[in-house]
Amino acid sequence: MMKESEFILSLCKEKVDENQRSEYDQIRAFRDKYRDQAELITRATQGDSKALRQLRWQCGLKVIT
C-alpha cells in the first residue's frame, strides 16, 4: 500500500505542469484542487480500482478499463 503523498506525486508526475514546483507544493496544489475528493483519494490509495479509475478520469489522465 502506498502513502497518500506518494500516490498524489505519482499522479502529478503524469500531468504536464509548466511550473516546476517542489514536491510539497505539488501535493498541496493537488489537495487544494481536489479537496472535495478526499475520500476518493483515500480509497484509491488503499487499492480500490474503481476509485482509481474515477480519480484518474477527474484529473484528466488516461483511464484504462
Cell of 8: 498524489
- DSSP string for the chain: ---HHHHHHHHHHHS--SS---HHHHHHHHHHHTGGGHHHHHHHHTT-HHHHHHHHHHHT-----
Q: For residue 48, what pLDDT is reported?
A: 94
Q: Please report where in the chains the cell 514546483 appears, as a residue.
A: 21
Neighbours of 61 (CB within 10 A): 12
Q: Is the pLDDT of residue 18 over 60?
A: no
Looking at residue 1, what is its pLDDT?
Answer: 61
Q: How far apart are the first and last CA of the chain?
A: 21
Task: Give the model's confidence band at 17: pLDDT under 50 very low, under 70 low, under 90 confident, else very high.
Answer: low
